[in-house]
Structure 1
Amino acid sequence: MSTVTFHATPGYGETMIQSLGYSQAVRVDNRVETSGQGGWDDDFNIPDSLEEEIVQAFDNVERTLATCGATWKDVIHVNSYHRVPQGEDVIGQDHNRVMAEQFRRRLDGRAPVWTQTGVTVLGLAAMRIEVRVTAVINDER
């Protein structure tokens, strides 16, 4: 039988459980699935800079993974959702550049699979990025 535990990121995750009734992550045995993590702080403020927002989203994924005993080095799949400005039909190179920089910085040379999706809206009006991941915890580390 599988062991299932739900996890709230300290700060904003606790707020989301109280206000919307969902967890930031679920661990099933050694597999972790996160909900989408935006580039917000604990008060749901979004940085003005796209780069800062993406870095904060990656930081939030890291914080959320930690609640389950995982790290970026356990990540096997990334889904990213990028708000595409009205009238444009591609995800901008600014998004891709910063995403790739964060992958290189946090994944220690590993290359998980990545699905990138352009969207018209995200959960908060100011959001331009949301990142969700799947991780498999390697018990041998």
Structure 2
Amino acid sequence: MSSARDAVFPAGRQALYERNRYSPAIRSNGFLFVSGQVGSQPDGAPEPDLPQQVQLAFENLNAVLAAAGCSFDDVVDVTVYIVDPERNFERVWPVVMAHWGEAPHPTLTGVGVTWLYGFQFEIKVIAKLPRAAAA
């Protein structure tokens, strides 16, 4: 029995993932498990503007989903992490909602945190792979 992981890498960011030693996503049993995505610039540095950081987190997430043949419409479960949500929620949430799509929406867990390695927002998802992408 092989324990090889079916990793998914978006174009252009492989070195960043290799340096940090994790896979952006793993396909398993018809689902795509996506690592937390942050609003990082191409070199991995945090985008300083919070709304733009959230926008970049979604762009990075969408690149991982696309590399697996998915889109946000295939997402079934979302976890978001926000540093100091009492202060930052109102600046973050309009950007999140711009990417959320139509009902029925995925499940959602929101977590307030004190530290995200220099970031203020992170999004982690599980997506159902379309039949063609699941093979």
After TM superposition, the structure 1 = structure 2 runs for residues 76-115 of structure 1, keeping only pairs within 5 Å, are 76-84=76-84, 92-103=89-100, 107-115=101-109
In structure 1, the partner of 2:16 is: 15
Range moving further from structure 2, 39-48 or 8-17: 8-17
Q: Count matched residues.
A: 131
C-alpha distance in structure 2 between counterparts of 1:45 and 1:134, whole Å: 25
Secondary structure, counterpart of 1:82 in structure 2: strand
Asked if the contact 2:23–2:35 (Cα under 8 Å) also holds between the matched residues in 1, the reply is yes
Which structure 1 segments of 5+ residues have no match?
none
C-alpha distance in structure 2 between counterparts of 1:93 and 1:15, whole Å: 30
TM-score when normalising by structure 1: 0.80
CA RMSD across the alignment: 2.4
Secondary structure, counterpart of 1:35 in structure 2: strand
C-alpha distance in structure 2 between counterparts of 1:28 and 1:96, whole Å: 30
What is the aligned counterpart of 2:126 among 127, 131, 134? Answer: 134
TM-score when normalising by structure 2: 0.83
After TM superposition, the structure 1 = structure 2 runs for residues 49-64 of structure 1, keeping only pairs within 5 Å, are 49-64=49-64
Paired letter, 1:7: V
1:21 to partner: Cα distance:
1.8
C-alpha distance in structure 1 between counterparts of 2:115 and 2:22, whole Å: 20
Asked if the contact 1:12–1:42 (Cα under 8 Å) also holds between the matched residues in 2, the reply is yes
1:74 to partner: Cα distance:
0.4
Q: Deviations over 1:83-132 (max 9, x none)?
A: 117xxx565222222222221xxx34441011110111113x2x110111
Are residue 118 (structure 1) and residue 112 (structure 2) matched?
yes
Which structure 2 segments of 5+ residues have no match?
none
Asked if the contact 1:13–1:24 (Cα under 8 Å) also holds between the matched residues in 2, the reply is no
